């Protein structure tokens, strides 16, 4: 049945069709907060970062199990809208089981090697760098391995920082970092 023009609901602003968002939230969790430690949360990641990563998945340059194929299905415009939507969502941390000695060591390493770009609980990351505190530990572990194996390419400065870290502190250094990132607890007012 036809409606008069003025009865057709018009979105107030350009919005991503909710079906497209639902494709993503099926894996990445409600509003992009993943419930699985194998799948990264994408809520609240920087808009430019989200766009860039989707491009990397599409063109290679970032290793993936599923995103490489999936990213092909979206136009630049859709990716921009998705990035806009997910960057506006609030990131939620989950309680993870950590070794506190490792986390303490990881904190020192983070300050020396990673904080200048990725920030931490007291300092916002540089634009374009994703936050690491509170991210899923399994996801971080695998993602770091992908950079080290060279199947994902980080920019030169970040590669340099990772290489120096591993040369001086070995795989244990990486593990300590992952425990530190996992040690960021959910905000107290959250229900988790």
Distances (CA, A) of 148 to 117, 145, 152, 172: 18, 5, 8, 14
Q: How far is the CB of 144 from ligand HEC (least distance, A)?
A: 5
Residue nearer to ligand HEC on the CB measure, 6 or 63: 63
**Cα–Cα distance for residue pair 144/57, rounded to 1 Å:** 16
**Cα–Cα distance for residue pair 94/185, rounded to 1 Å:** 7
Residue nearer to ligand HEC on the CB measure, 6 or 116: 116
**Cα–Cα distance for residue pair 72/69, rounded to 1 Å:** 6
Q: How far is the CB of 185 from ligand HEC (least distance, A)?
A: 19
**Where does this chain bind ligand HEC (CB under 6 A)?**
23-24, 26-28, 39-40, 42, 50, 53-54, 64-67, 70, 74, 82, 113-114, 116-118, 128-130, 132, 140, 143-144, 154-155, 157-158, 161-162, 165, 177
Residue nearer to ligand HEC on the CB measure, 4 or 85: 85
Query: For residues 53, 141, 158 and 187, what is the CA-based torsion angle, rounded to 10 degrees?
Result: 80
Q: How far is the CB of 53 from ligand HEC (least distance, A)?
A: 5
Q: How far is the CB of 188 from ligand HEC (least distance, A)?
A: 25
**Cα–Cα distance for residue pair 145/109, rounded to 1 Å:** 17
């Amino acid at each position: 049945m036809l409606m008069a023009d003025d009865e057709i609901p018009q979105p107030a602003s350009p919005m991503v069709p909710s079906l497209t968002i639902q494709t993503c939230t099926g894996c990445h969790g409600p509003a992009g907060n993943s419930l699985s430690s194998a799948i990264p949360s994408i809520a609240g990641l920087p808009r430019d970062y989200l766009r860039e990563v989707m491009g990397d998945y599409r063109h290679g340059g970032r290793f993936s199990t599923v995103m490489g194929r999936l990213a092909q299905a979206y136009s630049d415009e859709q990716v921009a809208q998705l990035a806009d939507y997910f960057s506006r969502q609030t990131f939620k941390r989950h309680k993870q089981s950590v070794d506190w000695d490792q986390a303490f060591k990881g904190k020192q390493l983070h300050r020396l090697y990673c904080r200048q770009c990725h920030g931490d609980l007291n300092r916002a990351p540089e634009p374009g760098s994703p936050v690491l505190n509170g991210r899923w530990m399994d996801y971080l572990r695998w993602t770091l391995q992908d950079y080290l194996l060279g199947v994902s390419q980080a920019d030169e400065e970040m590669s340099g920082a990772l290489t120096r870290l591993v040369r001086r502190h070995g795989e244990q250094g990486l593990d300590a970092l992952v425990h530190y990132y996992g040690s960021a607890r959910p905000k107290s007012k959250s229900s988790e």
